[in-house]
Amino acid sequence: QKEVEQDPGPLSVPEGAIVSLNCTYSNSAFQYFMWYRQYSRKGPELLMYTYSSGNKEDGRFTAQVDKSSKYISLFIRDSQPSDSATYLCAMSGRETSYDKVIFGPGTSLSVIP
């Protein structure tokens, strides 16, 4: 079993739709949960960061972590064509939050105008 599972998509939605991206994981030691966005031919960039269980909101983006179910989600409201990218969930269980990050395989998202 992989440490982090993520539906690779591709996912295609119309502009303005609500997008839900999800990951499951197996290692209960993970404490820090991140979502990265990666545009084509670019490196990943950090989008959201959450410690332990709970919700975090930043503009149109909401990250949710449910440690009891080992399940994390990213919601994008009012999706825009500029949101078209690959979204990678990532997590870490080390003493410091960003050390040795474990990535999911990524979900490819296309937002159609």
Partner 1 sequence: EAGVTQFPSHSVIEKGQTVTLRCDPISGHDNLYWYRRVMGKEIKFLLHFVKESKQDESGMPNNRFLAERTGGTYSTLKVQPAELEDSGVYFCASSHDLASEQFFGPGTRLTVL
Instruction: Restricting to residues 43-72, name those near partner 1 by CB under 8 A.
Output: 43-46, 49
In the complex, least distance from residue 7 CB atom to partner 1, rounded to whole angstroms: 13
Choices 52-60, 61-69, 72-80, 93-101 (CB under 8 A): range interacting with partner 1: 93-101
Residues facing 78 on adjacent strands:
none
Instruction: Choose, by CB under 8 A, the member of 42, 55, 80, 112 that binds partner 1.
Output: 42
In this structure, what is the dihedral angle of CA atoms 103, 107, 112, 113, given to the nearest 10 degrees? -20
C-beta closer to partner 1: residue 9 or 13: 9
Instruction: Restricting to residues 4-33, name those near partner 1 by CB under 8 A.
Output: 4
